[in-house]
């Protein structure tokens, strides 16, 4: 066809695609950070991805450190996952009925997210996005406790439902927005936002709102204001406080789940791999990203007694035409089955190497920075000391990131287009891909220093 709106064309540039996209899509994007607002320039329009690489519309290949913002833990388009998707698709795209695969995935998640005799996921409900998972978890917590207020932490991102956008990280941090227009004052007033890692603030909130707080929601390890691991024992203390106070603890593992380890961040704490976290369990956990292996799939799970408050057993409603979609479930099962200990070992190894070398390159150019990690997730802040909360992160010399980002991009490395996002490695980042990252670093560090 010769219709100018119908097909991709090898000679069309990223600039041309962006102009055309902006005419039909607000800002030219379907998710704000993709617009490159905080780094400037033209977003790369990607046409394919394989292993550790993505390829743009101009035919240029980049080593990818976005990994679809987490899901591509095995690398892009892993052949086994792609086959599982193709086979599932050939059997039908969506039925709006129960399928055997959903139970298989539920059982897989239940058995993986357990450490010793601790198994926090007794039941699990599948949805399509992380936003739905956290939104449903909050409704469930309110329905179960009969209370109305919610506590979240500044800089934590839990998706874009109304009650969770107050002082959220991710795109809101990138765009320096305190929240969103279109959220009623009544809804906003039901969310109490506290500084991260501040247990006194949590105790005070419970003192001031006796028997009104339904839940505390926390990223298992914060990774949407850059990466900020919790202080040792912070999550455990939240669990103790919420239990004492008759509230629920919702641990959001949308980003960390099945990425930082086979049983997510909770698994690292519960097994003693990170300090301070033995002997506690979340009431509810949300999953997304890796659980769907790159397809739209997310979930919430937790204690059966709470989960059974969901319809059809209980009074809390949740539903979805595409919930538990068979093609997405097939991708999730294949991905989790492949994500074995060797996958996590490889990602840990390359993440540590890239973090160390990036830090060294910045230091050689005299650029003040902090490198923060939570397992294999890491990020950099242009700060003079190690940040502990959102205020610290926001006070950084963020202007150093755009030149750093663009120098890496020009050298063929695709970083997250925001200083507030984690860098994501995959098990497919082999020595060649890592070598290309390392080669690009000195020039980028010089650009950051300028
Ligand atoms: N929770 C966390 C911790 C996230 O990182 C994200 C997305 O980045 C979400 C929830 C929302 O997930 P989704 O983008 O699938 O709606």
Considering the domain architecture, whether residues 141 and 249 belong to the same structural domain is answered as yes
Query: In terms of domains, do 99 and 212 share one?
Result: yes
Query: How buried is residue 93: exposed, middle or buried, by Cβ count under 10 Å (0-12/13-18/19+)?
Result: exposed
> In whole angstroms, what is the distance from residue 417 CA to residue 419 CA?
7
- Across the strands, what pairs with 194? 153
Residues 312 and 394 grouped into a single domain: no
CATH (domain of 85): 3.40.640.10
pLDDT exceeds 80 at position 175: no
- Element containing residue 174 per DSSP (H, E): helix 171-174
pLDDT one-digit tens code per residue, 114-130:
999 999 999 999 999 99
Q: What is the pLDDT of residue 8?
A: 55
Q: How many CB atoms lie within 10 A of CB 165?
A: 23
Residue 191 lies in a domain: yes
Average model confidence (pLDDT) across the chain: 95
Tell me what the mean pLDDT of segment 271-286 comes to: 95
Q: Over the stretch 333-368, which tens digit does the pLDDT of each residue have?
A: 999 999 999 999 999 999 999 999 999 999 999 999
Are 166 and 247 found together in one domain?
Answer: yes
Report if residue 415 sits inside a domain: no
Domain containing 231: what range?
A: 80-338
**For residue 314, is pLDDT > 90?**
yes
111 and 184 both lie in a single domain: yes
Instruction: Please determine, for the modelled complex, whether the ipTM score is greater than 0.95.
Output: yes
Domain shared by 250 and 160, yes or no: yes
Specify whether 258 is located in the same domain as 316: yes
For residue 400, pLDDT over 90 is answered with yes
CB 33 within 8 A of CB 48: no
- From 128, 172, 254, 292, give the residue whose CB has the most ligand 1 atoms within 8 Å, as the site to mutate: 254
The answer to whether residues 246 and 384 belong to one domain is no
Instruction: Give the whole-angstrom CA distance, residue 64 versus residue 97.
Output: 37
Strand 284-287 to 248-252 pairing: parallel
Averaged pLDDT for residues 86-102: 98
What separation in angstroms does the CA of 5 have from each of 2, 44, 183, 229? 9, 19, 36, 46
- Using the mean position of ligand 1's atoms as its centre, give its distance from the Cα of residue 159 in Å: 5
Residue 1 included in any domain = no
What's the farthest any 2 CA atoms get from each other in the chain? 67
Asked if residue 319 is part of any domain, the answer here is: yes
Supply the residues annotated as catalytic.
157, 252, 289
Query: Is there a domain that residue 416 lies in?
Result: no
Tokens of 140: 């469930």
Q: Are residues 169 and 283 in the same domain?
A: yes
Confidence of residue 10 (pLDDT cuts 50, 70, 90): low
CA of 11 to the centre of ligand 1 (A): 35
| This prediction's pTM | 0.96
**Ligand 1 pocket mutation, candidates 31, 33, 159, criterion most atoms within 8 A of CB:** 159
Q: 387 to each of 254, 278, 367, 428, how far by Cα in Å?
A: 23, 25, 16, 31
Q: Are 331 and 405 members of one domain?
A: no
In a domain, 43, yes or no: no
Count of domains for the chain? 2
Q: Does any domain span residue 417?
A: no
Ligand 1 neighbours, Cβ below 6 Å, are: 69, 129-131, 134, 157-159, 170, 219, 224, 252, 254-255, 288, 298
Which ligand 1 atom sits closest to the C-alpha of 289?
15
**Residue 242 and residue 387 in one domain:** no
Shared-domain flag, residues 248 and 389: no
% of residues, the chain, pLDDT over 90: 91
In the beta sheet, which residues pair with residue 124? 301
Cβ atoms within 10 A of the Cβ of 103, count? Answer: 12
Residue 44 located in a structural domain:
no
> 179: pLDDT confidence band, cut at 50, 70 and 90?
confident
pLDDT at 26 over 80: yes
């Amino acid at each position: 066809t010769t219709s100018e709106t119908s097909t991709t064309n090898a000679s069309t540039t990223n600039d041309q695609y962006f102009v055309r996209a902006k005419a039909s899509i607000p800002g030219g994007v379907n998710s704000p950070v993709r617009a490159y607002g905080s780094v400037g320039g033209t977003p790369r329009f990607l046409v394919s991805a394989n292993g550790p690489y993505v390829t743009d519309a101009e035919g240029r290949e980049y080593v990818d450190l976005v990994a679809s913002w987490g899901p591509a833990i095995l690398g892009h388009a892993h052949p086994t996952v792609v086959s599982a998707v193709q086979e599932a698709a050939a059997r039908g795209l969506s039925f709006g009925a129960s399928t055997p695969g959903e139970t298989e995935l539920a059982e897989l998640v239940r058995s993986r997210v357990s450490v010793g005799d601790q198994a926090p996921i007794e039941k699990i409900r599948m949805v399509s996005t992380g936003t739905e998972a956290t939104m449903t978890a909050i409704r469930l917590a309110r329905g179960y406790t009969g209370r109305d207020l919610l506590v979240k932490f500044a800089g934590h991102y839990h998706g874009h439902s109304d009650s969770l956008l107050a002082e959220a990280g991710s795109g809101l941090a990138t765009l320096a927005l305190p929240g969103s227009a279109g959220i009623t004052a009544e809804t906003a007033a039901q969310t109490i936002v506290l500084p991260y890692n501040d247990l006194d603030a949590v105790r005070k909130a419970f003192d001031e709102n006796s028997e009104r707080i339904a839940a505390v929601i926390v990223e298992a390890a914060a990774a949407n204001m850059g990466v900020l691991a919790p202080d040792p024992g912070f999550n455990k203390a939240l669990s103790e406080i919420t239990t004492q106070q008759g509230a629920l603890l919702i641990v959001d593992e949308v980003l960390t789940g099945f990425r930082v380890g086979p049983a997510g961040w909770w698994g690292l704490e519960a097994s003693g791999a990170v300090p301070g976290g033995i002997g506690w369990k979340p009431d509810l956990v949300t999953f997304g990203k890796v659980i769907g292996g790159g397809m739209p799939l997310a979930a919430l799970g937790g204690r059966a007694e709470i989960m059974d408050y969901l319809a059809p057993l209980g009074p809390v409603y949740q539903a979805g035409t595409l919930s538990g979609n068979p093609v997405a479930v097939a991708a999730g099962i294949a991905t989790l089955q492949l994500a074995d200990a060797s996958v996590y070992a490889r990602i840990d190894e390359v993440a540590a190497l890239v973090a160390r070398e990036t830090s060294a390159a910045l230091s050689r150019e005299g650029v003040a920075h902090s490198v923060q990690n939570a397992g294999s997730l890491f990020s950099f802040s242009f700060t003079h000391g190690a940040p502990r909360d959102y205020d610290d992160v926001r006070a950084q010399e963020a202007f150093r990131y755009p030149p750093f980002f663009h120098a890496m991009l020009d050298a063929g490395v695709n970083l997250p287009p925001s200083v507030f996002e984690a860098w994501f490695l995959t098990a497919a980042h082999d020595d060649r891909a890592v070598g290309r990252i390392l080669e690009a670093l000195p020039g980028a560090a010089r650009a950051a220093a300028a």
